Amino acid sequence: MGDSRLRVGLYLSGTVVGLVLLLGVIAPFVPYDPADAVDYDQLLQAPGMGHIFGTDGQGRDVAMRLLKGTEAFFLPGLMAAALATVFGALCGAVSGYAGGWLRGGVLGTMQLIDTLPRLVFIILVCTILNPSIYLIAFVAAVLFVPSIATVIRRRVEALGSEDYILAHVAHGFRPVRILLYHILWLQCRPLLIRQATYVFGYVLFVEVALSYLGDYGVQEPDPSWGNMVAQARGLRGVSAWPWAVPAVAIVVTIAGFLAFGNLLARADEEEVR
């Protein structure tokens, strides 16, 4: 892959990531009352001057709901991404660097968590606990720890036999410092960012899916990209705007985040070479 292509991809996906982050930050400060937004004179308007993405079946502005819909996944997504990355990195580093029972214990636990079917387990948790999106995000984070740990463990194992790491050991640096700074911080950052974008994308997916299904996600009239897509059920053949816009937003956001993480990691690899 050419360098310029890589850069174009990075700019494109970076724009998507930046835009979503921007929307997520400003959304809480925009006042919005779903009941107030209903306007029966403006049902199912096509996109135009007053409403850039048109209006839905109750005359509510789609663009506004799209903006407020980011609240449903933004903070939980960031939280889960941070949690999963930190714990994944730690578990990966420990199992890659330590030996004996510690390594065995961590590996076993990771394998155990990895056998749980993610979405099915989340639905099970929802049935039992009727949880908030934050708890769901926490569960998602835990479910993602093994895959992150595996990636990091491979890297740590590969680095552990490198001469310069051995030199650090010979210098008498503490293992904790070597692991946290020299290996995780200096060598694994792009990998960790990539994994973090995965987790963020997954939380978006889960939130949207649960809201689409309607029982455990965001309930109408509060907006979520998922319950906006769910409007498709009532609008078959009438108007596509109210659900197509959020559907495109979901696809672009997830693709943007995944591509950004991937390209960042690849750019780093090419730099190393």
Partner 1 sequence: MSRAARLAIAALRRAAGGLLLLVGATFVIYITIRSAPGDAIDAISPMGTPPDVKARLMEEFGLDRDPFTGYIAWLMRSLFGDFGESLVFSPGAPVMEVVLPAFGRTLLLSASALVACLILAILAALLLGEPSRRQQLLTGPLYVATAAPSFVVAVVFVQFVNWGIKAFLVEGGYVPPSWYPLEMYTESLVPYVFAGLTLIAGDGLFMDFFNSVRADLNALRNAQFIAAVKAKGARTLGHIARNMVMPLLSGYAARLPIVLGGVVIVEYVFTLDGGGYVLLEAARERDFPVVVGLSVLFTATIIAVNLLTDIIRALVDPREVAHGG
Joined together, the tokens standing for residue 223 give 């907006």
Q: Are 245 and 53 in contact (CB under 8 A)?
A: yes
Q: Which is nearer to partner 1, 98 or 240 (CB)?
A: 240
CB of 41 to partner 1, least distance (A): 27
Q: Which is nearer to partner 1, 1 or 22 (CB)?
A: 1
Q: Are 80 and 207 in contact (CB under 8 A)?
A: no
Q: Are 152 and 180 in contact (CB under 8 A)?
A: no
Q: Give residues in contact with partner 1 (CB under 8 A).
A: 1-2, 5, 9, 108, 111-113, 115-121, 123-129, 205, 208-209, 212-213, 215, 229, 232, 236, 240, 243, 247, 250-252, 254-255, 258-259
CB of 161 to partner 1, least distance (A): 18
CB of 213 to partner 1, least distance (A): 6
CB of 152 to partner 1, least distance (A): 17
SS3 55: strand
Residue 55's DSSP bridge partners are: 61
Q: Which is nearer to partner 1, 97 or 202 (CB)?
A: 202
Q: Measured between alpha carbons, how far apart are the two ends of the chain, in Å?
A: 14
SS3 131: coil
Q: Are 91 and 149 in contact (CB under 8 A)?
A: yes
d(CA 69, CA 218) in angstroms, rounded, equals 9
- Cβ-based neighbours of 103, under 8 Å, separated by 6 or more: 94, 95
CB of 80 to partner 1, least distance (A): 16
Q: Which is nearer to partner 1, 123 or 191 (CB)?
A: 123
Q: Which is nearer to partner 1, 22 or 124 (CB)?
A: 124
